[in-house]
Amino acid sequence: MGESDQFNGRLGLIFASIGAAIGTGNIWRFPRMVGANGGGTFLIPWLIFLFAWSIPLVIAEYAMGKRSRTGTIGTFRIFAGRRFAWMGLWTAWISTAIGFYYAVVSGWTLKYFQLGITGALSGDKVDTTEVWNAFLQSPGQVIFFQFLVILLVLGTIWKGAKAIEKVNFYLMISLFALLFLTLFLSLWMDLSDGSLDGALFMFTVDFDMLFEPEVWINGLSQSAWSCSAGMGMCITYAVYMSKDEDTVLNAFTMGLANNSISIIAGLAVLSAIFAVNPDPLATVTGGSSAITFLALPEVFAQAPGGAIGPLIMTAMFFLALSFAALTSMISTVELCVRNFVDHGYERERSVLITGLAIFIFGLPSAILWIQLDSSGVAFPEFLEVQDHIWGYGLMFSGLFIAFSIWKYGYIKWRTAVDEGTAPPGFSGYLGLGVSAFRDDFINTGDNDLEVGRWWDVLIYIAFPILFFVLMASYFSDMIANTPNVWDPSNPKGLTIILLFWGVVAALFIGLNRKLIERPLFRNVPEGADADISELPGGSDDLIGQVGDVIAGFEHLAATVDAELAD
């Protein structure tokens, strides 16, 4: 029997998970959200939702992945039952679809690092709008850097968990160092006029703004997206956990590290902008791309240190941004690859297929519908439409995770009632069913931190309420502010989102039968307690472990076994 593929230890898991969570949104979206929502005021709801939304979901993902020992499709097949394997396919698709255009965005960051290190952004007469427009309107350049990103990512994940662990470790350590150096220079610039007004804005609370619902909704959306909670990333990396890994402590570590990086990046960006810009809030709220690729090079050009200071600061910032983008891309591609490998495909072939698909399906985002806005700044409309469609689709993945938890609790309670070991009625369900998942899969004895009833309250009550509020606010705002919102040909309307979601969901539900007709090979470390017999999909004869021989599919077991022996 082949050996399971796993990380060497806790640090590998933590750095890989942090790398998955930390992306360009931490570094360019977060400062914009802080600027638009009252500075330090925004930090309060953002931190509250870290503990009310993100960390509880990450705990659930780790617990599910550690027990199922498969990617998203297998996890839902095991935890929700055979009829719901399509939920795992939805989760994998949303992540991969986001990866189509995120590879293009990652390519932008590499291009700007190249421009920064060569001094092409640091001169006094550099027109950053002209540089940006020339790059975005050059399909060959955009495609080249998109391809380079995908090549780097494929090289990282080619050999599995240990390579992912090593690359994420070095990239994240480098990212921390680069951001701290950028922060130091930004604070130096902010202090030059004796005010530190950027840093003060970042941590000053306007308590009146806390009564504005928009601030809370924006805090929830930033926490939901920036931490990768509910996206299936942590399910995927939990497959490589050692048998006694602490899921709860790792979830808290990942969430707090993610938010710490956001604060460091936000402080660096805001301090630099406040130091040199007469209207910093107008600049910081001008849109993510506008801040990152137009405003920040102009700001960094005024860094101290003569000619070398601006060059170093610009290069460091965009290198850090590139590392953040790459670690997120690594987890995105690995999530897809893991699902192929679980179903008996060779890893190298799966990596190539996934990489090729991300490149080909990302080409439209790289080259189509490059428009100029009213101020003459280029923007990729096709890419923005894709983000418009799939960005909120990932929220349903979190809902599917919660559904699996609710279903397990209900089934366990009903079984106990039938056996006469639990009382019927709502009080009986509260006593056994609600805490069932937490008791059986989180508080397993491997954790330094034990999770209490608060987690049940958040998953069963707070999560569905927050999900509804987030989706309702998004759609109501779109309906109120988008012309021709119901026109299916409107790329920024509501109908196009519902059409794409509906078609993909219907297709995946229709494919569910094909998914469960194929065997599933779990990646279980030797000696691990990964019993699935009491789970809804645990009696499936087509679910085995790496190296098992499943009747009718002997060739797949041999393929997986030989691959892990390499």
Q: How far apart are CA 54 and CA 59, in angstroms?
A: 9
Closest to 342 (Cα-Cα) out of 18, 69, 99: 69
Per-residue confidence (pLDDT) for residue 2, from 0 to 100: 47
Q: What angle do CA 111, 332, 237 make, to 5 degrees?
A: 130
What is the domain range of residue 95?
10-368+381-540
Any domain includes 150? yes
Q: How far apart are CA 146 and CA 109, in angstroms?
A: 10
| 521 beta partners | 544
Residues lower than pLDDT 50 in the chain = 1-2, 561-566
Q: What angle do CA 368, 373, 379 make, to 5 degrees?
A: 35
Q: How far apart are CA 395 and CA 382, in angstroms?
A: 22
Per-residue confidence (pLDDT) for residue 295, from 0 to 100: 82
Any domain includes 54? yes
Per-residue confidence (pLDDT) for residue 565, from 0 to 100: 46
Any domain includes 416? yes
Sole residue written with tokens 């509910």: 230
225: its two tokens: 């997206």
Any domain includes 144? yes
Q: How far apart are CA 560 and CA 30, in angstroms?
A: 42
**Which residue type sits at 273?**
I
Residues whose CB is less than 8 angstroms from the CB of residue 320 and which lie 6 or more positions away in sequence, other chains included: 27, 174, 175, 178, 179, 182, 265
Domain count of the chain?
1
Any domain includes 557? no
Any domain includes 256? yes
Any domain includes 187? yes
| Distance (Å) of CA 277 to CA 52, 74, 270, 271, 509 | 36, 52, 10, 10, 52
Contact of 306 with 284, CB cutoff 8 Å: no
Per-residue confidence (pLDDT) for residue 81, from 0 to 100: 92
Any domain includes 551? no
CATH number for the domain spanning 215: value is: 1.20.1740
Per-residue confidence (pLDDT) for residue 8, from 0 to 100: 72
Element (DSSP H or E) covering residue 372: strand 370-372
* Residue 311 CB neighbour total at 10 angstroms: 22
563: its two tokens: 């691959």
221: its two tokens: 């959306």
